Chain A
């Protein structure tokens, strides 16, 4: 591989790939890595860049991954490609935005069978916001239903960028991917900036490593950084001596001598306190600082909150450490300590959306080996009290007494749902059920339209994605943006199990749907709470008035079967299984509630 020092700035291309989910982003990334010979085919594992287990299993990209490959172009010159893979889900827009800020250009993948989708647009606009040069690519031409001409036309019509000569490829088979590589060289700009200017490097991600401390992922915009440079983080004002700089090979870090303007790489500086490195901050040279930091990222805004508690209360410190470390990898995650009567010590955490919540929970459980209990998610309500003050409420348990409340406001989002005409009716019904206010329909072409609704965020955080998918056979896609707050008649619904309020199950809901929700919640819990040695009433109540009730009948019978020929170990295994099941339950007074009950009540409409 060529020494990085011998490559001049004009031979560097920093780019990302943007696309709607499933349009082939990770597959194209894999193909580029494979075709530039960075990995031999044998080493190539499908979707090299999605390296978290959870990403590969779900087939989604959560963390931005970065890799450097070397491409020898038709002109005989070697080019360095810094490829930054970006997440595709609406929940992870913030990650996309950070990744984009490190790039000069973007490959826009559009599926030749599906054409432009909601996130194709959302991501394109984001890229344009960052002044990126956009290189459209039409993918999946190997599919029988592919219509690349129509899709190219659509790209020109809807997005307004030249697309007639866009490479038409199959990332899966590798067909025409070579054209993409050449286009990267010819159509994307080389980075600007001078290695001699004062250092300005943008932190777009970071990672905690037990041996090296914080590893900062950055894009050097101006100047040079090398081992020994005394760096200053401009927002936190902390200073450190650089111990290592390097770049990213697929799946590993390769140290090098220096990073200069235009390059993408990493810096380590024995940074132990993870709170000192903030994504979006600018790294500069303490001895020769830049005048001002680079323009920051969009400030991340948590849309959904929920309580996260260790199933085993003794593991609270472990959970705290895990969140601390996770936050470094996931700038969008916010948290602060809270206590619950039912669950003990835990954290109120803020997320970009429900998928983000799900992913964080899973990462905590897998990567940090924690067993968690999660409470019903909530949005942030504005509570105007009769004394004229306003509080921002993210935990329903903290709702003041109704007599102290003048009125409440809830967050409203502008939702855009892209749908084909056949499913328009059912999607519109769904939006109306969820208190959506119809704002209009925009036709992209004859058979595709964007429905615009103003919707309470509260109505979409639970299962709106699932509902949209199931009512459109998976064809509709959805995007939203916070619009503002609006006065609403909200009430707090409490859930009582065995006559005891389980604060972790309380949630805020619109008065009109309180009864329905309460009823469903009781039904769901009835099925989730296993029969115990006595009868357990489950009630939903508003301010002490019971709205709905179900009963878990007492366990009547539970006896082991035959002991074949004295084989005690079989018997013991059965008992162990039973005990293990019990361990995963949470004790509330006399009642045991399985962890799964807390999550399952979030998906009330799934059946």
Chain B
């Protein structure tokens, strides 16, 4: 366990920005996230609204300094790169962005050609997150991805040639047809390219996706738990062998290249989300931008702001003390270093064990959680079954 700080929890000025681009060339079979296939005109109109939202949001960020920016989707790279430049310019103009800010854009291997990378770099983007998912074309087809592995290789080479020195590759487990062999091939292929960062997520069959329909019809052949567990073993040994450190349940990085933006989510760092459906967390409140595209396009944001965003923001929730404690646990425990009992005590003025003692003692006894120094963190076994544990940190 490293004591190296990826972010400083005591840094009270930091603020993260998330920008959502809800467009895709085609929706993937597993995706229930907001995206629409649209034309250039819709893109331009959307970006205009987005910039207006960013501008108005600046009043919240007045005393803050932007430590990370993440442009996600959807498929941000489907936009003409000039739009990304406009968005970045709007941020730079309205916020104080730190010199060392981590600025990421999510890329689809199919829609990223070289001139786009150059444009992103010029706009200030310094990190790429490429959604490869698998190096096996059959698996990519099963997922409904519009690219093949070859596309990714070109995309990756272009990114390096343009000079990006911090690249993440998103991979997926539990996808239909995945085997131990295909996974170890995928992972080896990817790690040999020496990306700075790899994210490995499990496919979840979400409501309302084509996969859910197939699942209900019994047409979706997902790897069984045995295979999934072996796949995890492969991940563990290969990432270690290639010099990656697991710093969070699903994330692996070369030392010093951990994703600060995502890490902030687990670490109580405030963030503002702009764009359709984007989530925000700021001074103890959470909210989401509306998921209704028409509303987003038609609302007058100035009026909205003056009356407290009654329609633009949804699900606004002031976190109770209990909810804050829950989040501290189920978000914080995802990190390899787990949660700190001193930090808990500082924030909530009570001992962590007086609130979560029952669960914690059971997990310690079962060897799922380790108590080391002043921290509680997952054991290897605990990480494999993290859901079972995290769900027990929800208070009644």
A contact residues vs B (CB 8 Å cutoff): 531, 533, 555-569, 571-572, 574-576, 578-579, 582
Contacts and interface: CB of A to CB of B under 8 A. Distances in A.
Contacts of A559: 202, 249-250, 383-387
A565 B286 CA distance: 13
B212 to A, nearest CB: 14
B54 interface: no
Interface stretch (B142-150, B156-164, B225-233): B225-233
Given A565-B20, A565-B273, A566-B271, A556 B387 contact: no
A558 B387 contact: yes
Contacts of B391: 575-576, 578-579, 582
A566 B18 contact: yes
Contacts of B273: 565-566
A556 to B, nearest CB: 4
B226 A556 contact: yes
B281 A566 contact: yes
Given A568-B286, A575-B330, A579-B394, A563 B384 contact: no
A565 B279 contact: yes
30 contacts: A533-B368, A555-B385, A556-B225, A556-B226, A556-B384, A557-B384, A558-B387, A558-B388, A559-B202, A559-B383, A559-B384, A559-B386, A560-B202, A560-B390, A561-B204, A562-B201, A562-B250, A564-B72, A565-B278, A566-B18, A566-B279, A567-B279, A568-B279, A568-B286, A569-B317, A571-B330, A572-B327, A572-B330, A572-B394, A575-B330
Contacts of B288: 567, 569
B170 to A, nearest CB: 8
- Closest 10 pairs (CB-CB, A-B): A556-B229, A561-B204, A578-B391, A567-B279, A562-B201, A558-B387, A575-B391, A579-B391, A558-B385, A566-B265
A467 to B, nearest CB: 26
Nearest to B232: A557
A389 B383 CA distance: 60
A576 B271 contact: no
A40 B337 CA distance: 71
A557 B249 CA distance: 12
Interface in B326-382: 326-327, 330-331, 366, 368
Given A566-B265, A568-B331, A578-B387, 8 more contacts: A559-B250, A559-B387, A561-B201, A562-B199, A562-B250, A564-B33, A565-B18, A569-B288
A563 B262 contact: yes
Interface of B: 16, 18, 20, 33, 70, 72, 199, 201-204, 225-226, 228-229, 232, 249-250, 262, 265, 271, 273, 277-281, 286, 288, 315, 317, 326-327, 330-331, 366, 368, 383-388, 390-392, 394
Contact of B279 (A558, A569, A575): A569
A562 B317 CA distance: 22
B387 A575 contact: yes
A569 B330 CA distance: 12
A184 to B, nearest CB: 51
Nearest to A560: B387
A316 B116 CA distance: 68
B279 A533 contact: no
A571 B249 CA distance: 14
A557 B225 contact: yes
Contacts of B199: 562
A575 B393 CA distance: 9
Contacts of B262: 563
Which one of A558, A565, A575, A579 has the greatest number of beta carbons of chain B within 10 Å? A565
B395 to A, nearest CB: 10
Contacts of B229: 556-557
Contacts, number: 100
B76 to A, nearest CB: 12
B70 to A, nearest CB: 7
Contacts of B20: 565
Nearest to A583: B396
A168 to B, nearest CB: 46
Contacts of A566: 16, 18, 265, 271, 273, 279-281
Contacts of A579: 391-392, 394
A576 B323 CA distance: 12
B153 to A, nearest CB: 24
Contacts of A568: 265, 279, 281, 286, 327, 331
Contacts of A571: 330
A607 to B, nearest CB: 16
A372 B238 CA distance: 49
Contacts of A572: 326-327, 330, 394
Contacts of B202: 559-561
Contact of B72 (A531, A557, A565): A565
Contacts of B226: 556
Contact of B385 (A533, A561, A569): A533
A186 to B, nearest CB: 57
Nearest to B394: A579
Contacts of A576: 391, 394
Nearest to A577: B391
Contacts of A558: 384-388
B382 to A, nearest CB: 10
A475 B4 CA distance: 74
A79 B64 CA distance: 85
Nearest to A590: B366
Contacts of B278: 565
A558 B384 CA distance: 6
Contacts of B72: 564-565
Contact of B388 (A533, A562, A567, A574): A533
Given A559-B384, A560-B249, A569 B286 contact: yes
Contacts of B368: 533
A268 B69 CA distance: 73
B301 to A, nearest CB: 20
A556 B228 contact: yes
Given A564-B33, A565-B278, A579-B391, A557 B228 contact: yes
A568 B20 CA distance: 16
A413 to B, nearest CB: 41
Contacts of A563: 262, 265
A572 B265 CA distance: 13
A582 B388 CA distance: 9
A68 to B, nearest CB: 49
Nearest to B204: A561
A95 B18 CA distance: 66
Nearest to B393: A575
Which one of A531, A576, A579, A582 has the greatest number of beta carbons of chain B within 10 Å? A579
Given A533-B368, A533-B385, A569 B315 contact: yes
Contacts of A574: 387
Nearest to B73: A565
A600 to B, nearest CB: 21
A327 to B, nearest CB: 33
A564 B250 CA distance: 13
A399 to B, nearest CB: 36
B392 to A, nearest CB: 7
Which one of B199, B204, B385 has the greatest number of beta carbons of chain A within 10 Å? B385
Contacts of A531: 225
Contacts of A561: 201-204
A531 B280 CA distance: 36
A435 to B, nearest CB: 37
Contacts of B225: 531, 555-557
A576 B265 CA distance: 19
Contacts of B317: 569
A14 B262 CA distance: 76
A436 B315 CA distance: 62
Nearest to A582: B391
B331 A555 contact: no
A520 to B, nearest CB: 24
B366 A575 contact: no
Contacts of B386: 558-560
B288 to A, nearest CB: 7
Nearest to B392: A579
